[in-house]
Amino acid sequence: MKSKYFLVQHISLASGILALLALLGTQIQSVSAHNAAQPLAYVRIIHASPFVGTADVFVDGSKLLSSFQFGAVTDYVPLPSGPHKVQIALVGKGINAAALSQTLTVQAGMAYTVAALGTSPNNLSLEVFVDNNLLAPNMAKIRVYQLSPDAGAVNVNIDTDTTINNIGYQHASDYYTMDAGSHSVKLTAPAMQRSMPLAATLTANSITSVFAIGMFNGSPGAELVSTQTRGIPSLPNTGSDPTPRVEPVHAADPLVSWLLGSFAAVALGISILARKIRLGGVR
Map out the domains of the chain as residue ranges.
Answer: 2-37+249-279, 135-231
Report the pLDDT value the prediction gives residue 82, as an integer from 0 to 100. 96
Report the pLDDT value the prediction gives residue 39, as an integer from 0 to 100. 84
Taking only the tens place, the pLDDT of each residue in 87-145 is 999 999 999 999 999 999 999 999 999 999 988 888 889 999 999 999 999 999 999 99
Short-list 111, 73, 115, 65, CA closest to 89: 65
CA dihedral of residues 72, 51, 42, 174 (deg, nearest 10): -90
Short-list 240, 229, 246, 232, CA closest to 107: 240
Judged against a pLDDT cut of 70, whether residue 6 lies above it is answered with no
Report the pLDDT value the prediction gives residue 129, as an integer from 0 to 100. 98
- Percentage of the chain exceeding pLDDT 70: 69
Report the pLDDT value the prediction gives residue 269, as an integer from 0 to 100. 53
Q: Are 239 and 42 in contact (CB under 8 A)?
A: yes
- Residue 276: pLDDT band by 50, 70, 90 thresholds? low
First to last CA, the chain: 15
Judged against a pLDDT cut of 80, whether residue 62 lies above it is answered with yes
CATH number for the segment(s) 135-231: 2.60.40.2890
Report the pLDDT value the prediction gives residue 253, as an integer from 0 to 100. 44
| Whether the bond into 50 is cis, omega within 30 of 0 | no
Alpha helices (runs of H) in the chain, residue ranges in sequence order = 2-36, 254-279
Q: In angstroms, rounded to a whole number, what is the distance separating the alpha carbons of residues 164 and 208?
A: 15
Bigger pLDDT: 35 vs 154? 154
Entry pTM: 0.72
- Percentage of the chain exceeding pLDDT 90: 65
Average pLDDT over residues 203-221: 97
Report the pLDDT value the prediction gives residue 43, as an integer from 0 to 100. 97
Q: Is the sign of the CA dihedral 125, 74, 170, 133 positive or negative?
A: negative
How many of the other CB atoms lie within 10 Å of CB of 148? 26
Q: In whole angstroms, how far apart are CA 110 and each of 81, 143, 199, 207, 256? A: 9, 17, 29, 15, 30
* One-letter identity of residue 214: G
Taking only the tens place, the pLDDT of each residue in 226-242 is 999 999 886 544 444 55
Report the pLDDT value the prediction gives residue 280, as an integer from 0 to 100. 53
Residue 231, judged by CB atoms within 10 A of its CB (0-12, 13-18, 19+), counts as buried
Average pLDDT over residues 165-186: 97
- Average pLDDT across the chain, whole number: 80
- Residue 151: pLDDT band by 50, 70, 90 thresholds? very high
